């Protein structure tokens, strides 16, 4: 069984909730756990859950973010579910967070562009997730920037803590790219007060992490297990 959990995203400057990220989890004998790869999840399940989840959230928030890899983003069933979800959320925004996973290497940026243009025409937005890791370096994603509204840097992708000067330099680098390109920049993985204070110091407004709220189950049916 798969379900979406939701985690709040904040604007720290005005202390407001800007949206929720949908995080998919699988029920196991050890409790709810994230899948090793999104590609492990059947497309039909993602499409069904996405439509159900956004119908529950439509009156609660400013935006909904959902993670998809390149292969999933090109799938017709998921595309139809995205369109239904955006129609349910309107005038709120569905923010599609593009992730990189093994197996996506054959889908190049040129393949994505027509799909991204259709998303924009339907009122959706695109976030490039996990910038600064793997293939998500500026030279690799630069040609997608015209289609993008947001860059997300995930602190949890690195062994070093946010207090490490090298990690801070990476965060500043991507914060400045977002500013240069007139994009939102969200910092994910804020775990404690020290991280929060450092984000203040670096003038990062948009944040996500356990310090502000852990993911919790979004029940779409009354009998959904906890």
Average pLDDT over residues 27-53: 88
Confidence of residue 226 (pLDDT cuts 50, 70, 90): confident
Q: What is the 3-state secondary structure (H, E, C) of 108-174?
A: CHHHHHHHHHHHHHCCCEEEECCCCCCCCCHHHHHHHHHHCCEEEEEHHHCCCCCCCHHHHHHHHHH
Q: How far is CA 183 from CA 104, 130, 132, 158, in A?
A: 25, 15, 16, 23
Band the pLDDT of 103: cuts 50, 70, 90.
confident
Residue 189 pLDDT greater than 90, yes or no: yes
pLDDT at 5: 95
Task: Give the separation between CA 174 and CA 53, rounded to whole angstroms.
Answer: 31
Q: Do 215 and 6 contact (CB within 8 A), yes or no?
A: yes
Mean pLDDT, all residues of the chain: 91
């Amino acid at each position: 069984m798969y379900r979406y959990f939701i985690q709040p995203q904040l604007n720290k400057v005005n202390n407001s909730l800007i949206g929720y990220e949908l995080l998919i989890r699988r029920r196991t004998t050890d409790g709810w756990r994230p899948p090793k790869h999104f590609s492990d999840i059947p497309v039909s399940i993602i499409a069904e859950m996405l439509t159900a989840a956004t119908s529950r959230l439509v009156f609660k928030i400013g935006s909904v973010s959902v993670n998809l890899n390149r292969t999933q983003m090109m799938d017709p069933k998921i595309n139809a579910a995205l369109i239904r979800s955006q129609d349910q959320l309107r005038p709120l925004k569905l923010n599609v967070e593009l992730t990189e996973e093994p197996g996506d290497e054959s889908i190049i940026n040129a393949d994505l562009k027509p799909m991204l243009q259709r998303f924009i025409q339907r009122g959706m937005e695109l976030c490039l997730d996990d910038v600064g890791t793997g293939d998500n370096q500026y030279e690799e994603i630069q040609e997608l920037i015209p289609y993008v509204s947001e860059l997300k840097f995930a602190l949890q992708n690195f062994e070093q803590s946010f207090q490490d000067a090298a990690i801070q330099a990476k965060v500043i680098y991507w914060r400045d790219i977002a500013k240069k390109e007139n994009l939102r920049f969200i910092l994910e993985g804020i775990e404690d007060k020290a991280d929060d204070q450092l984000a203040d110091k670096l003038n990062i407004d948009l944040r996500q992490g356990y310090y502000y709220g852990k993911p919790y189950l979004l029940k779409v049916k009354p009998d959904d297990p906890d």
